[in-house]
Amino acid sequence: MAKPIYILNGPNLNLLGTREPEVYGTETLADLEQRCIRKAGTLGLAVEFRQSNAESELVDWIQEARANGAGLIVNAGAYSHTSIAMLDALLACDIPVVEVHLSNIFRREPFRHQSYISGAAKGVICGFGGLGYELAIEAMASAISDA
Cα–Cα distance, 26 to 4 (Å, whole number): 27
- Closest contact distance (angstroms) between CB of 101 and ligand DQA is 4
- Closest contact distance (angstroms) between CB of 98 and ligand DQA is 13
- Is 72 labeled as ligand-binding? no
Cα–Cα distance, 120 to 14 (Å, whole number): 24
- Is 107 labeled as ligand-binding? no
Contact residues for ligand DQA, defined by CB under 6 A: 12, 75, 77-78, 80, 101-103, 105, 112
113 is catalytic: no
Query: What is the DSSP track for 112-144?
Result: GS--SGGGG-SEEEESSTTHHHHHHHHHHHHHH
- Is 88 labeled as ligand-binding? yes
24 is catalytic: yes
* Active site residue ranges: 24, 101
Binding-site residue set: 75, 81, 88, 102-103, 112
